[in-house]
Amino acid sequence: MPFVASGTDLQRYGAYGFGGILHIDSSNNVVPLSSVMDEVLQDPNTLAPVVHSKKPSSGTVSYDDPFGLNLGRVTLSLTIPFDKY
């Protein structure tokens, strides 16, 4: 399951984004060994993007589609050990 999200960190980094490719098993759990996440921060000195990659340590996916078609909203609950920068 590929995904991406972005936003702005007004206190520290400016532009911010993260995304990844998650391996989801039949129980809707993230399989950490075959999943990867990237965090993209804006260097406050040069404004250049800096990419950090990590594997999620755990997570789940829920499909909040009332019609059961898996075409609606997806909720990710992830634990990602990104370092503090």
> Where do the structural domains in the chain lie, given as residue ranges?
2-79
Question: Tokens for 58?
Answer: 């755990």
Q: Distance between alpha carbon 18 and the CA centroid of its chain, in Å? A: 5
pLDDT at 18 over 60: yes
* Cα–Cα distance for residue pair 85/83, rounded to 1 Å: 6
Q: List, for residues 32-78, the tens digit of each pLDDT value.
A: 888 888 888 877 788 788 888 877 778 888 876 666 666 666 777 88
For residue 83, name the pLDDT band (cuts at 50, 70, 90). Answer: low
What was the pLDDT predicted at 46?
81
* Cα–Cα distance for residue pair 75/85, rounded to 1 Å: 27
pTM: predicted TM-score of the whole model, two decimal places: 0.66
* Cα–Cα distance for residue pair 49/15, rounded to 1 Å: 9
Sign (positive or negative) of CA dihedral 13, 40, 16, 24: negative
Question: Tokens for 14?
Answer: 């400016």
